[in-house]
Chains A and B, each alone.
Chain A
Amino acid sequence: MLTAVNHLQGLATRLAAEGVEVGEGPGPIVPELKELYWGAGSFIVFALLMRFYLFPRLKQGMDARYAGIRADHEQADAERASARAEVADYEAQLAAVKAEAAAKVDAARQALEAERQEQVKALNAQLAERRAAAQAETDAAKAAVRDQIHAAVADVAGRAGELATGRRPDATVVARVVNEVMAR
């Protein structure tokens, strides 16, 4: 800043030394011709170059880049939409496959259930058959044992009657009496 101050201070001295009096020349609000034509010339050259060369060149590059960016944005949008469609398609396929799988699982479950029911039914029938056979066998064994007991009791009763009376009672009568007594 001191440089500037010194510069200003020295100005009047230098102007005087070079033969230009301080305060010489037109007033401060009067345009000086040399400043006018240098200023005008500079601006006109700058404006013409700007209009016909500098600005179009820069703007062309800007427009091309913006167009590229716009195209990239559009491409990105299209790819995003395409990806979204693919995802939706995949999700639809996934849902269809899931539904199909669920249907197959249901069908298999139903088939298995039917088979189980059939096998349970068959086993129950087999069990009932075996139970009936066993029952019949048991009943036969019981009857056999009962006949043996009847025979033994009848034999004992006949022997007892024979010992008591000295005569052997009729076997049929003894058997009937034994049956009646044992049936009570």
Chain B
Amino acid sequence: MLAEAFKFPEINAILRWQDIFTSFNKIALIAVAAAVIGIVVFLLAGNKDAKVAPKGVRNLAETTVEFIEDGIVMQTMGKSGLGWTPFLLSLFIFIYLCNVPGIIPLLQMPATARMAIPMFLALLVWVVYNGVGLKHQGVKYITNTIWPPGVPVALKPLVGVIEFISNIIVRPFSLTVRLFANMLAGHILLVTFALLTQSLITAETQQLLLKPMAILPFFMLVFLTAFEVLVAFLQAYIFTILTAVYIGGAAHPEH
């Protein structure tokens, strides 16, 4: 009876969304909303009086800027990397605001639990850090990437293959999959426990103990929702800090 009540929907049913209008679905809405919210917050923050102690929206914006500068740029690239703050700031805010809808009632879908956005951002980062490497090191960037300084000649073919795969292919792949898979897994877990709770509550059964047991998956659902708050922030942070590390490594290979 319970097994019949608990029917997990097809994976696409919890991931794919019907179009709100032509070629514009919930994922697109979340992506556009993330950009609009980011723009509006920074516009409002910029309009506030900068001379007085920041509060409200300006405090939020300045805290985010300082978090990116002190917590990411200075830690990975040093002072010379401060020029990358706007890009890393955009990346962090956009990813975070795409992650957070996973726990917002009614929306309940992180845009990064779909492959498109993580893949685009990872490819963009790939283009950026390779561009930075070529700009700073010229053609030597390719040899430095494939053969790090100090590699014995005999090992060069082996190390070359490993480093090429690691730096050129695995990095964008890992960036994409880390973000996408974490957010997708969180989303599926939330759906699972939500459906399990509902199935136990609405189950047509003679076993009196079954319905009160719905409290167990419900507590798990609450716990996972709180956990997803952390995951949303953490994944945005990890993606941004890895981007900073890749750009810093490309600009300053000696580090």
Q: Which A residues form the contact surface with B (CB < 8 A)? A: 1-5, 7-9, 11-12, 14-15, 18, 20, 22-25, 28-36, 38-40, 42-43, 45-47, 49-51, 54-62, 64-65, 68
Would you call B238 an interface residue if the criterion is a C-beta within 8 Å of the partner chain's C-beta atoms?
A: no
Minimum CB–CB distance for A100 against chain B, Å: 52
Are B116 and A31 neighbours in the complex by a CB distance under 8 Å? yes
Per-position contact with A for B207-224: 1 when CB-CB < 8 Å, else 0? 000000000001001000
- The answer to whether A3 touches B106, judged by C-beta atoms less than 8 angstroms apart, is yes
Residues of B within 8 A of A1 (CB): 105, 194, 197, 218, 221
Q: Across the two chains, which residue of chain A brings its CB closest to B87?
A: A47
Given contacts A31-B120, A42-B35, A46-B35, 8 further A-B contacts (CB under 8 A): A8-B194, A28-B12, A32-B116, A54-B43, A55-B85, A57-B42, A59-B85, A62-B65
Interface of A is mostly: helix
The answer to whether A12 touches B32 (Cβ under 8 A) is no
A24 vs B244: C-alpha distance in the bound complex, in angstroms? 38
**Contact: B116 with A35, CB < 8 Å?**
yes
- In the complex, are the beta carbons of A51 and B34 less than 8 A apart? no
Set B13, B32, B93, B108: member contacting A38, Cβ < 8 A: B32
Cβ of B119 within 8 Å of any chain A Cβ, yes or no, is: yes
**A3-B106, A47-B90, A55-B86 known; A39 and B111 CB under 8 Å?**
yes
**A9 and B198 contact, Cβ closer than 8 Å, known pairs A32-B116, A39-B117, A47-B87:** yes
B42 touches A50 (CB 8 A): yes
